[in-house]
Amino acid sequence: MEDNKALVTLGSILDNDFYKFTMQCAVVKLFPSQVVKYQFINRGKHQYPQSFAEELKKSVAAMAELKLSHEEKSYLKKTCPYLDLPYIDFLEGFRYDPSEVNIQQQGSDLEIVVEGLWYRTILWEVPLLCLVSELYYKMTGAVRISDEEIVERTIAKEQKFKDLKVLFAEFGTRRRHSYKVHQLVMEALTSVDNSTFIGSSNVHLAMKYHVKPIGTHAHEWFMFHAAEYGFKMANTLSLEHWVDVYRGDLGVALADTYTSDVFFQQFDKKFAKLFDGVRHDSGDPIEFAEKTIEHYQKNGINPLFKYIIFSDALNPEKVEEIANFCRGKIGMSFGIGTNLTNDVGLPSSNIVMKLIAVKGINEEWIPTVKLSDEREKYTGDPEMISLAKKFLKIDE
C-alpha cells in the first residue's frame, strides 16, 4: 500500500487525457480570449475527511512545477502530427496556475471551482479528479487488494477481450485509484500479446508503455458551443470547427451532449462520411448501436466502414453483450475506464468536473448544460436545461 503521508502528485504534465490536449490545441486557435468556469460534482456523495481540502491544495500547488520535457516534446511531434508545431511550442511553455483553482471544504463536503481563460483552464479537469480520487483513498486509509491481484484481474479482462476478438483501450485516468495502480494496469496490459489492446487515453502512460494515445473531444466542446452560439447550432458548429482544425484527423464524434436523437438529426451526410465514427457515452448501448447503423444506412453508407467507440461504465460483461450485437453490423471498439484502473476491492470513485459557465461579451456568465441520453446525467442550471429541451424539442 502507498505511503499515506506522501504528497499526491502527477507523473508528468502529460498525465492527462489526450482529448484535453487536442481540445486545447483547437481552443488556442479558435477561442483564445474565452473565459470559462468549471465545477466539481460529487455524484457518489463521498464523505471527504477533515483537512482534505488543505492536502488537495498542496497537490494542486505542486502542479505548477510540471513542464513538458524535451523527450515528451519529441514524442508529441513524432506521434501526433496533427498537433502542429506552434501548439507544441505553446505546450512546452505552459505552466499550471494554481490561482485558477478555488478549493473549499464545509464538513465532509468538498467544493472545487476553476475559473479563467479556457485555453489554460481546460487542462485542470482530469488531474483534479484523479488527485481527489487518490487522495481520498490515502486519507481514509482504505486498503486495496495486492499488486499481484490487480495484475491478475487486468490480465483476465484482457484475455476476455481477446477471446471476444474486440479492440479496447484504457480510459481510466480521471477516477483511478492511484498513479501506482494505473501503472500496474498498463504494465499488465502491455506484458502479454496485446493484439486487441490498442492504446490509452493517458498521454504520459501511452508514451511510457509505447502504445497509441487515444481521444478526440469531450462534452465541454459542445457545451461551450451551445453557450456561445445557441443550442440549435451547438452540434453543427462543434463539428465544423473540429474539421476546420484537424482536417479529417481525430475523426470520432461524441454523440450525446444534447441527446443522440438530436445529434443524429444534425450529423448529416457530410459529417457521416467525413468522421470515422461516433462515441457512445450514455444510455442503452444496443439502442444507440441500432440508431447509428440506421443513420449510416439512411445516408447510403455501409456501417461496416464506420465504427462506434463505447465508453460508458464498461466491464467485460457489458462488452460481451455489445460485441455480440454489433459484430457483422458495424465496426466497434471499447474504452474501459474505472473497471480497469479502480477495480481494487473498494467502492470506486463517482466524481466528475464539468464546464458550468462561459463568460459572455457583456461579462455576464452564460450557464452551460449537458443533456445526455440518461436523465440522471443531466448537468447544469435547471432553467437552462428547460430552455435547451424546449429549443431542441426534447420530450421525456
Mean pLDDT computed over every residue of the chain: 96
pLDDT of residue 194: 72
Residue 192 — pLDDT band, cuts 50, 70, 90?
confident
The tens digit of pLDDT for each residue in 102-147 reads 999 999 999 999 999 999 999 999 999 999 999 999 999 999 999 9
Locate cell 460534482: which residue? Answer: 41
pLDDT of residue 395: 81
SS (H, E, C) the chain: CCCCCCCCCCCCCCCCEHHHHHHHHHHHHHCCCCEEEEEEECCCCCCCCCCHHHHHHHHHHHHHHCCCCHHHHHHHHHHCCCCCHHHHHHHHHCCCCHHHEEEEEECCEEEEEEEEEHHHHCCCHHHHHHHHHHHHHHHHCCCCCCHHHHHHHHHHHHHHHHHHCCCEEECCCCCCCCHHHHHHHHHHHHHCCCCCEEEECEHHHHHHCCCEECCCCCHHHHHHHHHHHCHHHHHHHHHHHHHHHHCCCCCEEECCCECHHHHHHHCCHHHHHHCCEEEECCCCHHHHHHHHHHHHHHCCCCHHHCEEEECCCCCHHHHHHHHHHHCCCCEEEEEECHHHHCCCCCCCCCCEEEEEEEECCCCCEEECEEECCCHHHCEECHHHHHHHHHHHCCCC
Residue 1 — pLDDT band, cuts 50, 70, 90?
very low
Instruction: Answer whether 149's CB lies under 8 Å from 319's CB.
Output: no
pLDDT of residue 396: 65
* Superfamily name and number for 18-143+351-392: nicotinate phosphoribosyltransferase (3.20.140.10)
Using CA atoms of 18, 24, 25, 29 in order, give the dihedral in degrees to the nearest 10: 160
CATH value of 147-341 in 3.10.105.10, 3.20.140.10, 3.40.50.970, 3.40.710.10: 3.20.140.10
Residue 3 — pLDDT band, cuts 50, 70, 90?
very low
Q: Do domains 18-143+351-392 and 147-341 have the same CATH topology?
A: yes
- Rounded to an integer, what distance in angstroms lies between the CA atom of residue 380 and that of residue 356? 6
Instruction: Return the amino acid letter for 139.
Output: M
Q: Sort strands 212-213 and 252-254 into parallel, antiparallel or unpaired.
A: unpaired
List beta partners, residue 331: 307
Region 236-242 average pLDDT:
98
pTM to 2 decimal places:
0.96
* Spans of all domains in the chain: 18-143+351-392, 147-341
pLDDT of residue 29: 98
Q: Is pLDDT at 28 greater than 80 in this prediction?
A: yes
Region 304-310 average pLDDT:
98
pLDDT of residue 5: 53
Q: Is pLDDT at 172 greater than 50 in this prediction?
A: yes
